[in-house]
Amino acid sequence: MTETVLLVGGGGREHAIARAVADDCALYACASVRNPGIRRLADGFEAIEETDPAAVADYATAVGADLAVIGPESALEAGVADALDDAGVYAFGPRAAEARLETDKAYQREFMEEHAIPGCPDYAVFDDTAAACEYIDEYDGDLAVKPAGLTGGKGVKVIGDQVTADEAKAYLRDSDYDRVVLEERLVGEEFTIQAFVANGDVRTTPAVQDHKRAYEGDEGPNTGGMGSYTDTGLSLPFMADGDYDAAVDVLDAVVDALPDYKGVLYGQFMLTDDGPKVVEFNARFGDPEAMNTLPVLETPFVDVLTAARDGETLPELAFSGEATVCKYAVPDGYPTDPDAGAEIAVDEESVGDALLYYASVDERDGRLYTTTSRAFAVVGRGDSIAAAEAQAEDALAAAGDRVRIRHDIGTADLVRRRIDHMDELRR
């Protein structure tokens, strides 16, 4: 029997999910933007706001969906998983209460402390800006300043890296957030592990390193992610033996504390000289990290989804053993002043053996237009990071004009800098 799957969301992450399931199911999708890659793969597509639970549930029922996959965090926060579950459509994504692990950073840290989850940094939560500024003045060391709610990966300011203490206080006063989390600055190399979770089972995927800074050499403001890479195994070149397993232990501890959690659990870690520490948890696939891991997943993703829905043991995961490098093309001016509404041309034939993923573009009358976020990505695969990077770089002839790319992601020089940084910290 062919499963009918509803995909919620219209970005690059969702294009990767669509490609991972389309051959094994009848796929329907709904999103607020018309992603051309998803539309070509889907049997049906409906323009629906991802944060409208009732509309999403009605569409799922109308197309006879057996299960649904929810891409964006905004949909989880809005309770889309709750509405789908309540309508009898199994949602591979946590209900809003469990999604607070991502959507409320204050809850996230308090949850970690209450359940003794390893890797929690020192932190304090404030709903008074003056008190938060006083804490910054009195704290012995640098701090990360985090709004408690969702900010699309662009709200965090790190003292001693991105801003001074005075600039951090000015940021808080100007932003007028309801609540903020101040936590010790973690120094090391960031990496992500994404896990499929259901019925108490945890199945992890290869570690990914994302690049948040807008410009080459890790300069400029934070973005939603300019690109990322994986190695041929589960670990990354700068990680030591045991680092991957230590991070997985953290994810296991979270699921032990949240036995009803279902969907993707994403752990973002800082590898310090004292092992992995938790930067944050996300309650869904990363973007771009989904585009690194799903293309090398050999276990049918639909098999994971149906086992989750049917209360069965999740299948063990098999991967191709290829390295991947993902590079995003973003609108000129992104992220501070993106050139939204610009018409762009993408030469799909020039991509070659790489994979092309459309993200925040809007297709109208057969033409593509930028939005305020990232436009599309290319993913190279190979028997080494270098081979994958070369394939991705060759594919960027598809980029055309009016977009910008971080060409240094996945290069030997940047990877070597990560290795040298960790070697220096460990000495």
Q: What is the pLDDT of residues 146-155, one digit of tens each?
A: 998 887 666 8
Q: Tell whether 222 and 334 lie within a shared domain.
A: yes
Residue 107 lies in a domain: no
Residue 222 pLDDT exceeds 90: no
User: pLDDT tens, 183-218?
Assistant: 999 999 999 999 999 999 999 999 999 999 999 999
Going by pLDDT thresholds of 50, 70 and 90, the confidence category of residue 399 is confident
Tokens describing residue 421: 């940084």
Looking at residue 150, its pLDDT comes to 82
Q: Tell whether 140 and 64 lie within a shared domain.
A: no
Q: Compute how many other C-beta atoms are within 10 angstroms of the C-beta atom of residue 203.
A: 17
Query: What DSSP letter does each residue of 141-164 carry, written as one string?
Result: S-EEEEESS--TT---EEBTTTB-
363 sits in which H/E element: strand 361-364
Q: Tell whether 91 and 127 lie within a shared domain.
A: no
Looking at residue 179, its pLDDT comes to 92
Residue 38 lies in a domain: yes
CB 418 within 8 A of CB 189: yes
User: pLDDT tens, 260-283?
Assistant: 999 999 999 999 999 999 999 999
Q: Tell whether 282 and 364 lie within a shared domain.
A: yes
What amino acid occupies position 20? Answer: A
What amino acid occupies position 292? Answer: N
Helices and strands in the chain, H and E counts: 14, 24
**Could you tell me the residue range of the domain that residue 66 belongs to?**
3-98
Residue 111 lies in a domain: no
User: pLDDT tens, 377-394?
Assistant: 999 999 999 999 999 999
Kindly tell me the sign of the dihedral angle through the C-alpha atoms of 45, 49, 53, 55: negative
Q: Tell whether 301 and 381 lie within a shared domain.
A: yes
User: pLDDT tens, 47-72?
Assistant: 999 999 999 999 999 999 999 999 99
CA distance 149 to 155: 9
pLDDT (average), residues 237-245: 97
The Cα angle at residue 383 between residues 217 and 284, in degrees rounded to 5: 65
Residue 38 CB partners (closer than 8 Å, separation 6+): 7, 10, 14, 15, 18, 29, 31, 45, 358
Residue 401 pLDDT exceeds 90: no
Report residue 101 CA to chain centroid gap: 14
Q: Compute how many other C-beta atoms are within 10 angstroms of the C-beta atom of residue 329.
A: 26
Residue with tokens 């929690």: 120
Looking at residue 318, its pLDDT comes to 98
Residue with tokens 């591979």: 92
Looking at residue 35, its pLDDT comes to 93
Residue 107 CB partners (closer than 8 Å, separation 6+): 100, 101, 148
Going by pLDDT thresholds of 50, 70 and 90, the confidence category of residue 396 is very high
Going by pLDDT thresholds of 50, 70 and 90, the confidence category of residue 176 is confident
Residue 426 lies in a domain: no
Q: Tell whether 141 and 257 lie within a shared domain.
A: no
Q: HSE on the CB side for 359, CA within 13 Å?
A: 29
CA distance 47 to 57: 13
User: pLDDT tens, 80-114?
Assistant: 999 999 999 999 999 999 999 999 999 999 999 99
Query: With the CA atoms of 196, 201, 203 and 209 taken in that order, what torsion angle do they form, in degrees rounded to the nearest 10?
Result: 60
Structural domain count, the chain: 3
Q: Say what percent of the chain tops pLDDT 70.
A: 99
Q: Compute how many other C-beta atoms are within 10 angstroms of the C-beta atom of residue 235.
A: 20
Residue 203 lies in a domain: yes
Tokens describing residue 215: 């410009």
Nearest to 40 by CA among 303, 287, 366, 329: 366
196 sits in which H/E element: strand 189-198
Q: Tell whether 325 and 417 lie within a shared domain.
A: yes
Task: Identify the CATH number of the domain in which residue 64 sits.
Answer: 3.40.50.20
Q: Tell whether 79 and 194 lie within a shared domain.
A: no
Task: Identify the CATH number of the domain in which residue 282 sits.
Answer: 3.30.470.20
- Chosen domain end from 65, 98, 131: 98
CA distance 298 to 287: 20
CA distance 216 to 298: 33
Q: Tell whether 142 and 228 lie within a shared domain.
A: no
CA distance 367 to 104: 38
Residue 401 lies in a domain: yes
The per-residue pLDDT of the chain, averaged, comes to 95
